[in-house]
C-alpha cells in the first residue's frame, strides 16, 4: 500500500479523508486505483487518459515530472501528494466586448 | 452556499490587488465552512509567478505555495477555502482560463481593478461537472 494526500477541495470525494491508501507499483497504477476507489475524483484529475495540466503529483518532495512521471516505481509505504497549480486570468475582453460591464 | 467576508478583510484584499495593478495579483483564503456559509477568516497574498510579460492577464502560484498553505490550514484546523485574484481593467467574471484551472468545492473571489482602483468583488464556484462557474452570494460584513 502507498498513501496519497488529497487536496482540500477534493476531499469531498474521499469521504473527507485527507490521506487515503491505495495499491500500485507505479504512480500511474496508484492513481488509477485511487480513481477506481473514488470515481468522482477522475474528472478533476484527468482529461481523457492524461493528467490535467494543472494537476501536479509529488513523491515525497519530488515533482514526478522530474522523475519518470506516471511510470515512476513505488515501494510499499511511499507517500504521494496531489497538488493543484493555482492559476487564473482575465477574460480576453478585446475579442469579447459583450463581457464588458461598461 | 454564501461566502462571508468582513469589510476589513475585503479592503485588505483590495489594497493588495491595487498594489499589483496593472498586473494580476492573488492569494489564498483560509476560513471555516458551516452549514449556512463559508466564512473567510484570513487572506494570504501569494506572489504571481507567471512569466512577467504575461502578468497583465495571467496569475499563477507554485505547487509549493499550495503545500505550505494547505499544511498551515490543516494544522490550524482551518479550511483552505479558496483563492482570490484580480482582473485588471476587466470584469470580475471567470474566464475560460480560470475554468480550465479550477477545482470544485473551492471559492473563487475575483476583483475588478479598474485603472488601479478595486471596484467590484464577486464570488464564484465551479460546478462539479466542470461545465461552468456559478455565482455565489458574497456577504460583506461590516465589523
Strand A79-84 to strand A2-5: parallel, antiparallel, or no bridges (unpaired)? parallel
- B24 carries an active-site annotation: yes
Collect all residues of chain B within an 8 Å Cβ-Cβ radius of residue A51.
none
| pLDDT on residue A93 | 56
Query: Which residues 8-67 of chain A have a CB within 8 Å of chain B?
Result: 8-10, 12, 18, 40, 43-44, 54, 56, 58, 63
Nearest CA in chain A to B113: A90
pLDDT digits (tens, 9 = 90+) for B10-66: 999 999 999 999 999 999 999 999 888 999 999 999 999 999 999 999 999 999 999
- Between CA B18 and CA B11 the distance in angstroms is 10
Nearest to B26 among A12, A43, A88 (CB): A88
C-alpha cell at A40: 468522482
Domain B3-141 has CATH 3.40.140.10: yes
Unique residue bearing C-alpha cell 456559478: B134
**Residue A18, domain extent:** 2-99
C-alpha cell at B71: 499544511
Specify the number of domains making up chain A. Answer: 1
Using alpha carbons, list the distances in angstroms from residue B94 to B6, B102, B135. Answer: 23, 10, 10
Per-domain residue ranges of chain B: 3-141
Q: What is the CATH number of the domain that holds A43?
A: 3.10.20.30
Using alpha carbons, list the distances in angstroms from residue A44 to A51, A65, B36, B100. Answer: 9, 19, 26, 10
In this prediction, residues B71-91 reach a mean pLDDT of 94
In this prediction, residues B115-127 reach a mean pLDDT of 97
| pLDDT on residue A91 | 85
- Mean pLDDT per 10-residue interval, chain A, length 102 residues: 96 96 97 98 94 94 95 97 91 49 38
Collect all residues of chain B within an 8 Å Cβ-Cβ radius of residue A43.
129-130
Amino acid at each position: 500500500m502507498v498513501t496519497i494526500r488529497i487536496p482540500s477541495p477534493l476531499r469531498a470525494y474521499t469521504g473527507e479523508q485527507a490521506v487515503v491508501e491505495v495499491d500500485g507499483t507505479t504512480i500511474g497504477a496508484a492513481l488509477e486505483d485511487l480513481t477506481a476507489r473514488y470515481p468522482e475524483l477522475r474528472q478533476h484529475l484527468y482529461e481523457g487518459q492524461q493528467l490535467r495540466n494543472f494537476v501536479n503529483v509529488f513523491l515525497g518532495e519530488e515533482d514526478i515530472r522530474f522523475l519518470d512521471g506516471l511510470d515512476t516505481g513505488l515501494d510499499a509505504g511511499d507517500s504521494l501528494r496531489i497538488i493543484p497549480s493555482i492559476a487564473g486570468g482575465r477574460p480576453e475582453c478585446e475579442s469579447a466586448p459583450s463581457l464588458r460591464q461598461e | 452556499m454564501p461566502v462571508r467576508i468582513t469589510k476589513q478583510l475585503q479592503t485588505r484584499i483590495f489594497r493588495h490587488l491595487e498594489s499589483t495593478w496593472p498586473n494580476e495579483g492573488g492569494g489564498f483564503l483560509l476560513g471555516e465552512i458551516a452549514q449556512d456559509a463559508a466564512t473567510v477568516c484570513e487572506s494570504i497574498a501569494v506572489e504571481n509567478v507567471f512569466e512577467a510579460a504575461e502578468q497583465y492577464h495571467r496569475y499563477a502560484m507554485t505547487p509549493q505555495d499550495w503545500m505550505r498553505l494547505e499544511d498551515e490550514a490543516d494544522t490550524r484546523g482551518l479550511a483552505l477555502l479558496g483563492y482570490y485574484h484580480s482582473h485588471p481593467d476587466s470584469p470580475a467574471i471567470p474566464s475560460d482560463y480560470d475554468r480550465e484551472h479550477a477545482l470544485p468545492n473551492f471559492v473563487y473571489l475575483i476583483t475588478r481593478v479598474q485603472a488601479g482602483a478595486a471596484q467590484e468583488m464577486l464570488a464564484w464556484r465551479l460546478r462539479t461537472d466542470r461545465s461552468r462557474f456559478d455565482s455565489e452570494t458574497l456577504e460583506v460584513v461590516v465589523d
